[in-house]
Chain A
Amino acid sequence: MASSQRSSFNSCTRRLESQQNQTHTSAVTSTLVCQLSRARAPTNSRPYMLGAGLLTYFLSKEIYIINHETISAACMATVIIYSVKRFGPDVAAFADKLNEEKLQKAEEVKALAVASLAQAIEDEKKEQWRVEGRHLLFDAKRNNVAMLLETNWRERVHTVHNEVKKRLDYQIALQSLHRRMEQEHMVSWVEKNVVSSITPQQEKTSIAKCITDLKSLAKIQQAKATV
């Protein structure tokens, strides 16, 4: 029926199909009949009709009498309607805000829990990544330990080398000392024996020979100097 609810008068200028073939239809009555048989206004006017009708009935039959209470009722109605229209949206928004705050608190708790869990996930992922790099750490530590061992071994070898060298040097020094002492002892023994074996006669002849040698040398030297 909705599609047929048209109230324009112009739609009735097209007569009803049943009337179009009639020869003796009056224009006035046919329009009237057309209008009456179609649906009326788009807005539902039934409640307004009931209200207006009831009001008229009550007033005309003096079931409701207009008196001072009507005036005060009109005043009260003005106050109520004005306050509802003016403060209604604000009050509704306030009530919605109260509910929103309640929801917000719960949402905060939820968001906090979700955030902490997401952070836990991130931390776990980082730990797993760290675990992957663990072998590098172990290699580095192994190398470190190996280097330490090597260094330690080399130090000890060096120490051993030095100690052995010291002992060998000592032995060499000892031997050389021995030899030198033997040598000195022999030399002093020979000297002592030679000195002790020099008789005074030999001593005189040797000194006389030395003097003649020296004189001859001096002559030779003089001769060289004059040449």
Chain B
Amino acid sequence: MMLNFFDQFMSPVLLGIPLIALALLLPWILFPNPAARWINNRLITLQGWSISQATHQLFTPLNQGGHKWATLLISLMIFLISLNLLGLLPYTFTPTTQLSLNMAFAVPLWLATVIVGLRNQPTIALGHLLPEGTPLPLIPVLIIIETISLFIRPLALGVRLTANLTAGHLLIQLIATAVFVLLPLMPTVAILTASVLFLLTLLEVAVAMIQAYVFILLLSLYLQENV
């Protein structure tokens, strides 16, 4: 069997059962429901604190209409963070490396923000296509450019997440293979490469969390423009 570095990104199927459903459901069991207690255990306390911090951070700039999106966006962020972090473990499949999944998150949510903006305040939503203070001859060109930028947003959102995670996983696999191959030949170089791998692992942990946060942050920014 040829070692193909892209096999890790194939949607896992076992005996005809798509295991991606299991991979998508796994984060749900990791976050316990808050019990009907006033003072909870440490895990639930920390979970509640971090969620409330993230909500406060993301939704303070938004007005009242944007707060209706809080449940959706924060639960999406928790989902993405847990999927990304679980994917860093060995032999796991990361669903967020699939472009289809990320586009399925990005396109409907972006489209929803655009439609909300065009329905409730069409003038202001269309006004975003022209930045303030542009010189008169540049106006037609700039409107075209801004429209293109508007339509590229969902693509950027999805591809950003996919590319970051895929690249990270590939790099980890490549450098781990380098260490594995070099270990019997040149152990010293292998140890140096292993230190690079260690730093890369730290980076990937950070990237996993940051990319999920950036996804939600950009969606909240698009919402802020339109609500």
Contacts and interface: CB of A to CB of B under 8 A. Distances in A.
Interface of A: 66-73, 75-76, 78-79, 91-92, 94-96, 98-99, 102-103
Interface residues of B, number: 24
A77 to B, nearest CB: 9
Given A79-B201, A79-B202, A68 B176 contact: yes
Nearest to B39: A99
Name the 3 nearest CB pairs between A and B, nearest first. Answer: A73-B90, A95-B42, A68-B176
Contact of A71 (B45, B49, B180, B205): B180
B198 A75 contact: yes
Contact of A68 (B89, B179, B198, B201): B179
A104 to B, nearest CB: 11
Interface of B: 38-40, 42-43, 45-46, 49, 88-91, 172-173, 176-177, 179-180, 194, 197-198, 201-202, 205
Contacts of B177: 68
- The B interface, classified by DSSP as helix, strand, loop or mixed, is helix
B42 A92 contact: yes
Contacts of B91: 69, 73
A113 B43 CA distance: 32
A75 B42 contact: no
Contacts of B88: 76
Contacts of A75: 176, 194, 197-198, 201
Contact of A72 (B38, B42, B176): B176
A28 B38 CA distance: 66
B198 A79 contact: yes
Contact of B49 (A72, A79, A98, A103): A98
A98 B45 contact: yes
- Is chain A's binding surface mostly helix, strand, loop or mixed? helix
Contacts of B205: 79
Contacts of A98: 45-46, 49
Given A75-B176, A75-B201, A102-B39, A69 B90 contact: yes
B123 to A, nearest CB: 46
Given A70-B180, A91-B46, A102-B39, 6 more contacts: A73-B90, A76-B89, A79-B198, A94-B46, A95-B49, A99-B39
Contacts of B43: 95
A62 to B, nearest CB: 13
Nearest to B190: A71
Contacts of A67: 180
Given A92-B42, A102-B39, A71 B197 contact: yes
Contacts of A66: 180
Given A68-B177, A79-B202, A79-B205, A96 B42 contact: yes
A108 to B, nearest CB: 15
A225 to B, nearest CB: 141
A71 to B, nearest CB: 4
A9 B176 CA distance: 47
23 contacts: A68-B176, A68-B179, A69-B90, A69-B91, A69-B173, A70-B90, A71-B197, A72-B90, A72-B173, A72-B176, A73-B90, A73-B91, A75-B197, A75-B198, A76-B90, A78-B198, A79-B198, A79-B201, A79-B205, A91-B42, A92-B42, A95-B49, A102-B38
Nearest to B91: A69
